[in-house]
Amino acid sequence: MRQVVVTLLSVLSLVLACTPTLAPTATPTPAPTTTATPSNPCPSMTPALVVKIVDGDTIHVLIDTQDYRVRYIGIDAPETVHPTVGEQPYGREASARNHQLVLGKAVCLEKDMSETDQYGRLLRYVWLENGTMANATLVAEGYAQVTTYPPDVKYSQLFLSLQRRAHEQGMGMWGLAAPGSETPVAGRCDPAYPDVCIPSPPPDLDCADIPYRRFRVLPPDPHRLDANKDGVGCQG
């Protein structure tokens, strides 16, 4: 407990530049023009301390001594505990990597458009002191895949490019063999949708059944997700 209190006090005096260099393989976005100061450690963001890891995409943080549950924007990690799907392949690994990335660390929380999700969790991009974003790192290393819910789409194209690279290189869950078989997880994704993981039919899926928006579609588009045949699926 004493360690948490000491670490929390350090958050108040932390000087974070929060320069968004994202994951090591990411294309840098323009750096903020505002310089951090001791009284404002996260320019245009909210300073917080990560005190608990729920799974690969959800954490608990302290903001001004109050506990908040935070859901990472734009990504979805495999489940570790779920009422219907149970534990999914690579869920424990994703949770462990998230633990390694952020637990006990001072972070900056960046809001997109929405404040919370339907479960009351804060929706945020989570920036580390070294200038990397946890959301992007988990996608780049294959611990999570892109899940886009408009209007929170600020980094969606970046996440898709990171996922494409992770998929091509067989990173993390993209190179994982399914239990009892030699088939990699990526092999269960239909090749007509190379940048996201959408399984081949059956069943037949439509845009309301999947979390992705504005992704690349190649023929034959078995789910008919590219309604106007322009090579981009689920644009609405």
Q: Are residues 29 and 119 in the same domain?
A: yes
- Per-residue pLDDT tens for 81-104? 766 656 777 888 999 999 999 999
Q: Are residues 139 and 124 in the same domain?
A: yes
Q: Are residues 176 and 197 in the same domain?
A: no
Question: How far is CA 144 from each of CA 3, 11, 32, 42, rounded to the nearest angstrom?
Answer: 30, 28, 26, 26
Q: Are residues 163 and 221 in the same domain?
A: no
Residue 35 has a pLDDT of 34
Residue 148 has a pLDDT of 84
Q: Are residues 31 and 111 in the same domain?
A: yes
Q: Are residues 122 and 234 in the same domain?
A: no
Q: Are residues 58 and 80 in the same domain?
A: yes
Residue among 92, 121, 164, 224 flagged as catalytic: 121
- Among residues 143, 169, 184, which one ends one of the domains? 184
User: Parallel, antiparallel, or unpaired: how do β-strands 145-146 and 215-216 relate?
Assistant: unpaired
Question: pLDDT band at residue 208, thresholds of 50, 70 and 90?
Answer: confident
Q: Which among 91, 83, 23 has a CA at the least distance from the CA of 56?
A: 91
Distance CA(119)–CA(121), nearest Å, equals 6
Active-site annotation holds for 71: yes
Active-site annotation holds for 79: yes
Active-site annotation holds for 97: no
Q: Is the pLDDT reported for residue 6 higher than 90? A: no
The total number of structural domains in the chain stands at 2
pTM beyond 0.95, yes or no: no
Upper half-sphere CA count for residue 138 (Cβ side, 13 Å): 35
Other Cβ atoms less than 10 A from the Cβ of 33: the count is: 6
Q: Are residues 142 and 60 in the same domain?
A: yes
Residue 181 has a pLDDT of 42
Q: How far, rounded to the nearest angstrom, does the alpha carbon of residue 28 sit from its chain's CA centroid?
A: 17
Residue among 79, 93, 110, 141 flagged as catalytic: 79
